[in-house]
Amino acid sequence: METDVYGQDDNIKAVREIAVSDDELSEDTTAGRSGTYVQTIIISMRKRTHCPNGKEISSTYDVVMLLYNYCRVLSSINRDGGPYDRYPFLMFKESDMPPKSNYFKCVLCSKCTKPKERATVNKDITKYLRRKFLIEAKNGDIICNKCRHIFRKERDQKVLPCVKTSKSSSQTTATFSPPSVSLKIPSTSKSNAYCCICKKPGPKLIVISPDVRTATYVDNNILIPSGNRCCPSHICEGHLNDDALCRIKTTDESFVNRTYLLEIMNKMRKKIRESASRRLNFDDSNLSEPDYITMTGLSKINFSEVCSTLSKYLKNTPARTITTTVAIFLCKLKSGMSNRFLSTIFCVSKSSVRRAFNSVRQAFMSEFVPANLGFQHISREEIIQKHTRPLAQSMFGGIASNSAILVLDGTYIYVDKSNNFHFQRRSYSTHKGRALVKPMIVCTTTGYYVSVLGPYLADYRNNDASILTHMLKTNVEEIRDWVNEEDILFLDRGFRDAIPLFRRSRIQAEMPRFLKKGDKQFSTEDANMSRLVTKIRWIVESSNARIKTWKYLSHTLPTNQIPFIGDFVRIVCALSNKYAPPLSQCTDVESDQLEAAKMIHLSKMSNTLKEHVETENLLKKKLIWKVASECDLENFPRLDDQELRNITCGVYQMKLASSYIQEYTDEESDIFVHREDSNLLRIKIQSRHTSSKKHQLWIRYNESYIDSWYCLLPSWS
């Protein structure tokens, strides 16, 4: 019998020492009768023959296991004694069985080895396995001769002696570089059977392209051997994504050959030449976030999203990529630079810039603009819920109202004087004194652009009222189906001729009040209502100013671009809807409602100081006033910013205050104090528009707050 390292011979010896004859095996037991399985096993074990089923018993371990498994079956059938009392070897427990044999697998290739084909792993091999294959060998692990020969071959090739070659004239020494060079550069393990990043096996793996390997080395100083594979999810836009870079495992040094070194050098040379030939490059994403916002008006992520959306309508050309094409268009819109200047900084021809500008405009109008602008891109309910401030809803629609509130106004896009006389007359604005066209802007109370209509001509036939009347009568973009009877439109005084149409359509229109014939100043009620309307309507002026931040639309456009002005304005508004924050945002619904209630309450109050000035005829009385420098004004209240905002109900007046104060920094101010009522002041304020005008202002105060005020300006009643 062969010697077994796990003590299997002792178990078999115990079985052999049982003095049981063939006749005794068949006595009083079915299991031990002649020809049964147990008897056959024991006899086979004694004679070292084969089992009846033809399976060779190759080792003593197999014999014991075969007998043990059969005894377990018998024990489950007959548990009342029987042959187990006579044959105690049948009472083996599973814990008494010897462990399975170790087949001495190679730690590297997992191949079973014979005694003459293996060796124990030493320290040098352990370091080699850890450095190149990221395998941690343990004490007692073995390695096959084939893998050990590979280790020795690579170890011997690290340092080669110089080879001396003799020539007829003189003795010279030539040093040949080794096939593999060790570099102190982190590297991944080399394998094409599993992912080199997450170690996931195939088959759905892709070979890492040379461009990705070069980009990984340039950006992260990690070498990836040629032929390595990885999961497709690890690569995004020609680079390893952030998750892959976090999960990748590297060694401290790498082994590269001549071919790989030449490949890296050629790739680096190509990148350097491309960088030198292109002054402004959006493909390599080497620009910072502020650079993207300055050049394109979008953040880096938003710019990539726009390029991805337009990629189905654009294509790469030998002169420019899709990213460069979109960047040219956005840079021209944002900065207003000429085609010649753009061709210089992007290193493309002027004709290429012109074609790029036209291609991107068409791509935007195909899908992006219809999805983010127009009456059909958003429902009326969504406008009410997401893009209407509670301040406007509380002041004009009511808290429980279901009214959509829109603000309308036209903006001006200046154009060159046309050679077409008919268009020259129709585009000339007598109000501005120059040629222009007027897009009509429709936005919400948060500054969200609902639609851009037009552009319209600027002659006397196309004032704001005529444009709005045309919009409703022709049902542009099905506006009459979108607007309901209870909806509210905020307009300026230029739409006054369209009021009869609103009344017939039962649409509520709000605009600043008009000065009645013969009056020099608004009544207190009309002035307060104008203030409430202005509190809501200012948003459209800021929306128009946001459009003009794209400098191309604030410049005077050439006549050949007039047919596309509407597209440019719509593209800018769609980009603002998609990526820009709201111009007016509600931070707290309750605070908006409280401010609305406060303004409504103040608008219904009468101005007692105005009545006092008119009753006492304080405007014409001069002797009752004395100069403020002769009086002590220490009891005048000192208000902080929040208290001033409570008085003005906004920040517009506070922004103008510093400009008004500059008028009196170098000279004395015209401030007077009433001789009998020391808490009443009269101030003369220089008009900011006319040098020959000074406005009269009265203020009544006490030690803690401003009680009332009155000014002779037409709208300051």
Report the pLDDT value the prediction gives residue 324, as an integer from 0 to 100: 92
pLDDT bucket at 584, cuts 50 / 70 / 90: confident
Is 60 exceeded by the pLDDT of residue 135? Answer: yes
Least confident of 106-110, 326-330, 530-534: 106-110
Tokens of 424: 């020259």
Report the pLDDT value the prediction gives residue 168, as an integer from 0 to 100: 38
pLDDT bucket at 70, cuts 50 / 70 / 90: low
CA-to-CA separations, 596 to 393, 445, 446, 488, 525, in angstroms, rounded:
9, 14, 16, 17, 16
Query: How many angstroms separate the CA atoms of 84 and 70, rounded?
Result: 13
Least confident of 31-45, 216-230, 687-701: 31-45
- Burial (CB count within 10 angstroms: exposed 0-12, middle 13-18, buried 19+), residue 284: middle
Tokens of 386: 């997401």
pLDDT bucket at 53, cuts 50 / 70 / 90: very low
Report which DSSP code applies to 605. Answer: S
Report the pLDDT value the prediction gives residue 275, as an integer from 0 to 100: 65
474 sits in the region (left: phi over 0; alpha: psi -120 to 50; else beta) called: alpha
Is 60 exceeded by the pLDDT of residue 585? Answer: yes
List residues bridging with 489 in a β-sheet: 406, 509
Give the H/E segment covering residue 160.
Answer: none
DSSP characters over 314-335: ----SS--HHHHHHHHHHHHHH
Query: How many angstroms separate the CA atoms of 137 and 503, rounded?
Result: 90
pLDDT bucket at 39, cuts 50 / 70 / 90: low
Give the model confidence (pLDDT) of 463-500 as tens digits: 899 999 999 899 999 998 898 888 899 999 989 999 88
DSSP characters over 539-593: HHHHHHHHHHTSHHHHSPBPGGGGGGHHHHHHHHHHHHHHHSPPSS--S-HHHHH
Give the model confidence (pLDDT) of 629-638 as tens digits: 888 788 888 8
Cβ contacts of 536 within 8 Å, gap of 6 or more: 391, 392, 395, 396, 405, 407, 445, 490, 510
For β-strands 434-443 and 413-414, DSSP reports them as: antiparallel
Report the pLDDT value the prediction gives residue 157, as an integer from 0 to 100: 74
Is 90 exceeded by the pLDDT of residue 407? Answer: yes
Is 80 exceeded by the pLDDT of residue 228? Answer: yes
Report which DSSP code applies to 464. Answer: H
Query: How many angstroms separate the CA atoms of 246 and 15, rounded?
Result: 60
Report which DSSP code applies to 378. Answer: S
Report the pLDDT value the prediction gives residue 9, as an integer from 0 to 100: 47
List residues bridging with 441 in a β-sheet: 409, 452
CB 143 within 8 A of CB 108: yes
Cβ contacts of 617 within 8 Å, gap of 6 or more: none
Query: How many angstroms separate the CA atoms of 105 and 118, rounded?
Result: 9
pTM strictly above 0.75:
no
CATH class of residue range 380-590: alpha beta
Report the pLDDT value the prediction gives residue 704, as an integer from 0 to 100: 83
Least confident of 152-161, 418-427, 454-463, 669-678: 152-161
Query: How many angstroms separate the CA atoms of 244 and 35, rounded?
Result: 66
Least confident of 40-49, 126-135, 235-244: 40-49
Three-class SS string for 34-77? CCCHHHHHHHHHHHCCCCCCCCCCCCHHHHHHHHHHHHHHHHHH
- Burial (CB count within 10 angstroms: exposed 0-12, middle 13-18, buried 19+), residue 37: middle
Q: How far apart are the first and last CA of the chain?
A: 121
Quick one: average pLDDT of 135-158?
85
395 SS3 class: helix
pLDDT bucket at 374, cuts 50 / 70 / 90: very high
Give the model confidence (pLDDT) of 232-288 as tens digits: 888 887 788 888 888 888 888 887 777 777 877 888 787 777 666 566 778 766 788
Most confident of 309-313, 401-405, 713-717: 309-313
Neighbour count for residue 345 (Cβ, 10 Å): 14
Most confident of 4-13, 208-217, 278-287, 566-575: 566-575
Quick one: average pLDDT of 528-539?
91
Looking at residue 7, its amino acid is G
HSE-CB at 480 with a 13 A cutoff on CA atoms is 14
Looking at residue 346, its amino acid is F
Closest CA to 715 of 496, 521, 520, 491: 521
Contacts 24+ apart (CB under 8 A), 113-116: 113/142, 113/144
Give the model confidence (pLDDT) of 306-350 as tens digits: 999 999 999 998 888 999 999 999 999 999 999 999 998 888 899
Query: How many angstroms separate the CA atoms of 460 and 645, rounded?
Result: 41
Report the pLDDT value the prediction gives residue 165, as an integer from 0 to 100: 38
Alpha carbon 484 to chain centroid, angstroms: 37
* Residue where the block lists tokens 């401003």: 706
Query: How many angstroms separate the CA atoms of 571 and 577, rounded?
Result: 10
Q: If you average pLDDT over every residue of the chain, what do you get? A: 80
Report the pLDDT value the prediction gives residue 652, as an integer from 0 to 100: 82
CA-to-CA separations, 306 to 370, 447, 541, in angstroms, rounded:
14, 22, 27
Tokens of 216: 């990984």
Is 70 exceeded by the pLDDT of residue 188? Answer: yes
Report the pLDDT value the prediction gives residue 647, as an integer from 0 to 100: 82
- Burial (CB count within 10 angstroms: exposed 0-12, middle 13-18, buried 19+), residue 133: middle
Phi and psi at residue 15, to the nearest 5°: -70, -40
Neighbour count for residue 449 (Cβ, 10 Å): 25
The domain spans of the chain are 8-96, 115-157, 181-275, 278-372, 380-590, 606-711
617 sits in the region (left: phi over 0; alpha: psi -120 to 50; else beta) called: left
For β-strands 508-510 and 488-490, DSSP reports them as: parallel
Most confident of 120-124, 212-216, 325-329: 325-329
CA angle 11–16–19, rounded 5-degree value: 135
Quick one: average pLDDT of 290-294?
91
Most confident of 225-234, 381-390, 640-649, 680-689: 381-390
Neighbour count for residue 521 (Cβ, 10 Å): 16
Is 70 exceeded by the pLDDT of residue 102? Answer: no
Least confident of 57-71, 106-120, 664-678: 57-71
Query: How many angstroms separate the CA atoms of 263 and 226, rounded?
Result: 10
Query: How many angstroms separate the CA atoms of 646 and 653, rounded?
Result: 12
Report the pLDDT value the prediction gives residue 40, as an integer from 0 to 100: 52
CATH class of residue range 278-372: mainly alpha
Is 60 exceeded by the pLDDT of residue 100? Answer: no
pLDDT bucket at 560, cuts 50 / 70 / 90: very high
More confident residue, 539 or 670: 539
Report the pLDDT value the prediction gives residue 19, as an integer from 0 to 100: 39
Most confident of 195-204, 284-293, 495-504: 495-504
Quick one: average pLDDT of 209-231?
85
HSE-CB at 519 with a 13 A cutoff on CA atoms is 16
